[in-house]
């Protein structure tokens, strides 16, 4: 079981953990034009989790998807902080309650040290939401953002 709270940034996730999360992202994106990314780092720094997630979102140009439907799941493991940042297109369609519920879902899993399951479950739920509002179009859709897990400091 993954216990990140005693790890350094370069060992936050095992290769197997990363692969499970990538597979969750790929499955979630299978039926949507939406894009999901996961960013994991050890420490948050001097800002709150949502501000940090927003910073990472824009730094990685996740706001440049055609339909403005990118979503970032952010985890600062040592600080025990999480956030989800969604672009304008999907955020407005889902409303704040959906995003709050997803953070609560992750928190519930994290309390029982089921970190990968918590992130994967939320990625799946976001994928369903994206599918409902941004269905996949085989003629025009491409994978605009990498599915690889981003690891920070």
Per-residue model confidence as pLDDT tens digits over 109-137: 999 989 999 999 999 999 999 999 999 98
- pLDDT exceeds 90 at position 35: yes
Question: pLDDT band at residue 78, thresholds of 50, 70 and 90?
Answer: confident
Give the percent of the chain with pLDDT over 90: 69
Tell me, what's the pLDDT at 50? 95
* Number of other CB atoms surrounding residue 18 within 10 Å: 17
Integer Cα distance of 44 and 78 in angstroms: 8
Provide the CATH topology of domain 4-151. Answer: Diaminopimelate Epimerase; Chain A, domain 1 (3.10.310)
Integer Cα distance of 67 and 141 in angstroms: 10
Q: What are the extents of the domains in the chain?
A: 4-151
Higher model confidence: residue 44 or residue 12?
44
Question: pLDDT band at residue 88, thresholds of 50, 70 and 90?
Answer: confident
Q: What is the pLDDT of residues 16-26, one digit of tens each?
A: 999 999 999 99
Q: Model pTM?
A: 0.91
Question: pLDDT band at residue 5, thresholds of 50, 70 and 90?
Answer: very low
């Amino acid at each position: 079981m993954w216990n990140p709270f005693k790890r350094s940034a370069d060992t936050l996730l095992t290769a197997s953990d990363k692969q499970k999360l990538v597979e969750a992202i790929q499955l979630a994106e299978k039926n949507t034009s939406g894009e999901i990314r996961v960013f994991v780092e050890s420490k948050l720094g001097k800002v709150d989790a949502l501000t940090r997630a927003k910073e990472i979102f824009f730094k990685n140009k996740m706001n440049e998807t055609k339909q403005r439907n990118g979503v970032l799941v952010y985890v600062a493991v040592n600080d025990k902080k999480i956030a989800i940042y969604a672009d304008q297109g999907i955020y407005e369609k889902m409303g704040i309650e959906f995003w709050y519920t997803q953070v609560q879902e992750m928190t519930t899993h994290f309390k029982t040290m089921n970190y990968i399951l918590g992130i994967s479950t939320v990625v799946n739920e976001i994928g369903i939401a994206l599918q409902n509002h941004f269905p996949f179009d085989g003629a025009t859709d491409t994978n605009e953002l990498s599915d690889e897990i981003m690891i920070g400091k």
